[in-house]
Structure 1
Amino acid sequence: MNRQVKQVLGLSAFAAGCMALGMGLSHGWQASAQEERPVVVDAKGLDRLPPIAEVAEKLNPTVVAITNTSFVKNRRFEHPQVGGQDFFDFFFGPGGPQQRRTPRGGEDEQRAVSGGSGVIISPAGEILTNYHVIASMGGSDNALEVKTSDGKSYKATVLGKDKELDIALIKIDAAHLPFAKLGESDSLRIGEWVVAIGNPFGLEHTVTQGIISAKGRKLDTGVSSFLQTDAAINRGNSGGPLLNLKGEVVGINTAINPAGQNIGFAVPISQVNRIIKELRSGKPVSRGYLGIGPLELDQAYQDALGVKAGVVVSTVEKGQAADKAGVQRLDVITALDGQPVRSPEDLVTMVSSRRAGETLKLTLWRDGKSLTVTATLGDRKALEDQRRREAGEEPEDEQAPKPQGDLKSINLEKAYGFTVEPLDVKNRLKGVVVTSVDPRSPAADRGLAQGMVITEVGRQPVNSLAEFNAQVKKASGRTLLLFIQSPNGVQKVTLAIPPR
């Protein structure tokens, strides 16, 4: 009997143990199933807004407005301040002169004015902006003017420029200016807050905010891979800074997609940092060239070549760096100096960030094996200049424009930029008639135009060319206050013409 009881108790204990073990396993399986949870973010600081206002307040004084004036042949002139044809109609009636002529009877020229933004990066007046903001718009030369946040205006000179990166460094003659710190853009994360400041459509110091929408965007405008942002960027923002919440410059705003909304692009500041010394020196930017045609390693190439990551070499230019290093067509470049290469855009950015003459280790996948070769990079610009010469074109001039010297002569054309002649004796007015106005002169800035009649200098009537010349000589190179009339004497205005 006791033995039977012991057996029953033993079996009961075993069953209880099995049940407990089963329940435990079941609980474990249930717990394991519960661990498969959706991805969430343990965000902190949701009760605090990003310090956009503080960034705007502190960095606004570092942002400038840039005006670029070029002189383009054979276009209708419109006065930049008074307003186009209506201004000429005021003096001459509808159908009057529409262009100003050069003082020496050359081709008709128009003053073309565009605007952009820039950011001060040193207390001595160095300013970063876009190349396209400071480039001439088709004329023989151009002039740059910078307006700072305190309302002061300065003439600017170009220190250095890089057309491919769309970056330029200019300078104004000033000291102790507020300036922004250049940050770095390589560690930026998609979704990170950014602030853009600029002068869209002439609306100075406009602040917009957004996030980094994407990185590594290729726009077929050069060698740069751009940052994409949804911070509102419009015409006039070009050259202005894209800032992180520390107030550091992480990009230079440069382009928009006009077909979309809030799709803007900025040159990553890390790429600018690599060439800043060359920009300051005024020398052309040295940019490496490998000499291959890269292709995306899509699934078809992966299956055919037996590799999952890298860039396919589609073509190899004879005599260039890759050819000399032994790179072959259908090689797959998997890394440069040990850094993985994931796309053709990665490859172009990494190579172009190096200088001509630098060596680069290429990790290749060829016929099922990995190998490493060393290439000495060629000069991208030198190669492009050579191609231009072979095509019968002139290489692009990357030298900075030289500042014009002061013109001290009282000669009317040299001192003020216009010429006059005596009025026809049949004209009932007394004075002199303007025969030409240099569109590059202060006279053109103020609205003086061919055909206008000058009847007084200051408050002194001038009835002849001799009297006019005497008053100009008396002014000794100071501003001329001219009383102007239309040829029929109906319209009248006073213009202040400063010397050049």
Structure 2
Amino acid sequence: MKRHVKQVLGLSAFAAVCMALGMGLSHGWVARAQEEKPVTVDPKGLDRMPPIAEVAEKLNPTVVAITNTSFVRQRQPGNPFGGGDDFFDFFFGPGGPGHPRVPRGGGDSEQRAVSGGSGVIISPDGEILTNYHVVASMGEPGNALEVKTVDGRTFKGTVLGKDKELDVALVKIDATHLPFAKLGDSDSLKIGEWVVAIGNPLGLEHTVTQGIISAKGRNLDGGVSTFLQTDAAINRGNSGGPLLNLRGEVVGINTAINPAGQNIGFAVPISMVNRILKDLRAGKPVSRGYLGVTPQELDSVFQEALGVKQGVLVGSVERGQPADKAGLQHQDVITSVDGQAVKNPDDLVSAISSRRAGDTVKLGVIRKGKAMTLSVVLGDRKAIEELRRGESGRGEEGESGGTDREGSSTFSLQKAYGFQVGALDPVNRHQFGIAEDRKGVVVVSVDPRSPAADRNLQVGMIITEAAGQPVTSVADFMAAARKATGRPLLLYIQAPQGSQRLTLAIPPR
């Protein structure tokens, strides 16, 4: 009897252990299966098409055709196109809507030119948004702007305000009770969201095309504008027409295409237009904020060198400008503007230029691992850039550099980072064309197979700081470089002539 009881208990214990192991393994398999599930989407509304026809029907009456008649001097007799603007030549090809069409032949130096585009009515009393390049020639004697509505009526157009940097303009016609479009929110757009474009491509009035938002934040020319990219078909003549979401709201003003590809179009985000609409209506020059820094990408090398994972590196700070007055320093990392995160230089430029001169912004900054907040009163972008151009060529003040040579130290800068430096002696100043006011050391050679070459360090550049330490001689520089051995070497660079400055991080070999 006892033996039987022991056998039953033993079998029960064995079964319990097996069950426990099975449950554990099962739980592990379930967890692993859950972790390794592919990314899927639970689609909704597949039984119905997007309401593109409804958007087209209701919004078509808000779109107008714009004809710009001007008088230009023919640069080259017999050439049918004006040409000459690299930006619009690239996107539209020579003779696109940014350039007037000049008739062939004729001996007169002045010719009548006609160009066209599109626009969208945004108020019942005839306010129309379009591109700057559609109306750029207005204001000259004899030039005229004609606006044609969907019902065939034509009106004389007057330019209320225009902004070349953003490539937008506000036109007014003398009319009332017009159908008009609502301005939407381009900031909330998602990649892949449906959009509709309406315009007058190649003279084909009120053409409707559809597509999606292909990308956001495209900076095409290094300016203040970051564009929406769409695959909705956009052609010459669409310029100034609306890009609409499926609620019929204007989310962008169609601006440019890249003729080298297919279905690659760009629109100015309406949120950027909204910020300057008040200035356009008042006919005032658009006011844009300005920091006075050189923003740089915080790539993986800078991240390792500075111990910061996200933000925008301050490559240099212009002396006497708003950032300098607020205490911002080169090699600071800006992480936010008024609490809004910035992840790349385009984010920073967009955030600052969307504010007005005189506005105060709060910058989230990380300096040598310490987080802080700096308040900056923004300057005026145009005024400061004009001042900067006038002052180009001025250098920094400082003490005279020494005439030390690299010497025979066991530390080899060439082996460690792939470049060599020399003193700012008369020979090097003459050889590299270095201004007399430059202080520091000069880059005398760069190994083309080195990290230094990969980071665009170039012969003739002046190094004024290394690893956060001021440099006035080769000895100063070598001491700082030795301490950084095995880690990225942070350099503050100045051009041999002019006021350009830059921060570089050179990874070790």
TM-score, normalised by the number of residues in structure 2: 0.70
Q: Does the 8 Å CA contact 1:72/1:137 hold for their aligned counterparts?
A: no
Is residue 3 of structure 2 the alignment partner of residue 4 of structure 1? Answer: yes
Match of 2:54 in 1: 54
Is residue 250 of structure 2 the alignment partner of residue 270 of structure 1? Answer: no
Is residue 372 of structure 2 the alignment partner of residue 364 of structure 1? Answer: no
Match of 1:105 in 2: none
Q: CA RMSD in A?
A: 2.0
Match of 2:106 in 1: 98
Q: Cα gap change, 1:141/1:288 in structure 2, threshold over 3 Å: closer, same or farther?
A: farther
Match of 1:316 in 2: 317
Is residue 156 of structure 2 the alignment partner of residue 148 of structure 1? Answer: no
Q: Cα gap change, 1:29/1:294 in structure 2, threshold over 3 Å: closer, same or farther?
A: same
Match of 2:192 in 1: 191
CA distance in 1, matches of 2:274, 2:310: 29
2:267 aligned partner, one-letter code = A
SS at match of 2:150: coil
Q: Cα gap change, 1:221/1:116 in structure 2, threshold over 3 Å: closer, same or farther?
A: farther
Q: How far did residue 142 of structure 1 move?
A: 2.8
Q: How far did residue 139 of structure 1 move?
A: 6.5
SS at match of 1:12: helix
Within a 5 Å distance, the mapping from 1:29-40 to structure 2 comes to: 29-35=28-34, 36-40=36-40
CA distance in 1, matches of 2:305, 2:285: 42
Match of 1:468 in 2: none
Match of 1:15 in 2: 14
Q: How far did residue 26 of structure 1 move?
A: 2.5
Q: Does the 8 Å CA contact 1:157/1:172 hold for their aligned counterparts?
A: yes
What are the superposed Cα offsets for residues 391-444 of structure 1, whole Å, 9 maximum, x if unpaired?
9xxxxxxxxxxxxxxxxxxxxxxxxxxxxxxxxxxxxxxxxxxxxxxxxxxxxx
CA distance in 2, matches of 1:84, 1:341: 49
Match of 2:127 in 1: 126
Within a 5 Å distance, the mapping from 1:81-480 to structure 2 comes to: 84=103, 98-100=106-108, 108-136=109-137, 142-220=143-221, 222-386=223-387
1:187 aligned partner, one-letter code = S
Q: Cα gap change, 1:387/1:132 in structure 2, threshold over 3 Å: closer, same or farther?
A: farther
* Greater CA drift, 187-196 or 301-310: 301-310
Q: Cα gap change, 1:339/1:144 in structure 2, threshold over 3 Å: closer, same or farther?
A: same
Q: Does the 8 Å CA contact 1:62/1:120 hold for their aligned counterparts?
A: yes
Q: Cα gap change, 1:313/1:158 in structure 2, threshold over 3 Å: closer, same or farther?
A: same
SS at match of 1:275: helix
Asked which structure has the greater CA Rg, the reply is 1
Q: Does the 8 Å CA contact 1:73/1:139 hold for their aligned counterparts?
A: no
Q: How far did residue 390 of structure 1 move?
A: 7.5
What are the superposed Cα offsets for residues 186-217 of structure 1, whole Å, 9 maximum, x if unpaired?
11000000000011111111111000000111
Q: Does the 8 Å CA contact 1:112/1:137 hold for their aligned counterparts?
A: no
CA distance in 1, matches of 2:388, 2:111: 33
Q: Cα gap change, 1:310/1:390 in structure 2, threshold over 3 Å: closer, same or farther?
A: closer
SS at match of 1:278: helix
Q: How far did residue 113 of structure 1 move?
A: 1.0
Q: How far did residue 33 of structure 1 move?
A: 2.5
For structure 2, the residue ranges without an aligned partner over 5 or more in a row are 81-101, 393-509
CA distance in 2, matches of 1:120, 1:167: 14
2:354 aligned partner, one-letter code = S
Q: Cα gap change, 1:70/1:386 in structure 2, threshold over 3 Å: closer, same or farther?
A: farther
Q: Does the 8 Å CA contact 2:103/2:111 hold for their aligned counterparts?
A: no
2:32 aligned partner, one-letter code = A
Q: Does the 8 Å CA contact 2:138/2:144 hold for their aligned counterparts?
A: no
Q: Does the 8 Å CA contact 2:63/2:198 hold for their aligned counterparts?
A: yes
* Greater CA drift, 131-140 or 153-162: 131-140
CA distance in 2, matches of 1:312, 1:204: 47
CA distance in 1, matches of 2:306, 2:355: 29
Match of 1:404 in 2: none
CA distance in 1, matches of 2:222, 2:70: 23
SS at match of 1:271: helix
2:209 aligned partner, one-letter code = T
What are the superposed Cα offsets for residues 462-488 of structure 1, whole Å, 9 maximum, x if unpaired?
xxxxxxxxxxxxxxxxxxxxxxxxxxx
CA distance in 1, matches of 2:187, 2:138: 33
1:98 aligned partner, one-letter code = G
For structure 1, the residue ranges without an aligned partner over 5 or more in a row are 86-96, 101-107, 392-500
CA distance in 1, matches of 2:141, 2:313: 43
CA distance in 2, matches of 1:136, 1:388: 26
Q: How far did residue 381 of structure 1 move?
A: 2.0
SS at match of 1:174: coil
SS at match of 1:197: strand
* Greater CA drift, 305-314 or 30-39: 30-39
SS at match of 1:186: helix
CA distance in 2, matches of 1:169, 1:43: 40
2:255 aligned partner, one-letter code = T
Match of 1:395 in 2: none
Q: How far did residue 386 of structure 1 move?
A: 4.4
Match of 2:42 in 1: 42
2:163 aligned partner, one-letter code = D
CA distance in 2, matches of 1:229, 1:324: 41
CA distance in 1, matches of 2:385, 2:110: 31
Q: Cα gap change, 1:84/1:367 in structure 2, threshold over 3 Å: closer, same or farther?
A: closer
CA distance in 2, matches of 1:216, 1:140: 38
CA distance in 2, matches of 1:19, 1:74: 93
RCO higher in structure (CA 8 A, sep ≥6): 1
Q: Cα gap change, 1:390/1:25 in structure 2, threshold over 3 Å: closer, same or farther?
A: closer
Q: Does the 8 Å CA contact 1:334/1:342 hold for their aligned counterparts?
A: yes
Q: Does the 8 Å CA contact 1:70/1:138 hold for their aligned counterparts?
A: no
Q: Cα gap change, 1:139/1:161 in structure 2, threshold over 3 Å: closer, same or farther?
A: closer
Q: Cα gap change, 1:212/1:364 in structure 2, threshold over 3 Å: closer, same or farther?
A: same
Q: How far did residue 303 of structure 1 move?
A: 1.0
Q: Does the 8 Å CA contact 1:72/1:139 hold for their aligned counterparts?
A: no
TM-score, normalised by the number of residues in structure 1: 0.71
Match of 1:27 in 2: 26
CA distance in 2, matches of 1:150, 1:98: 36
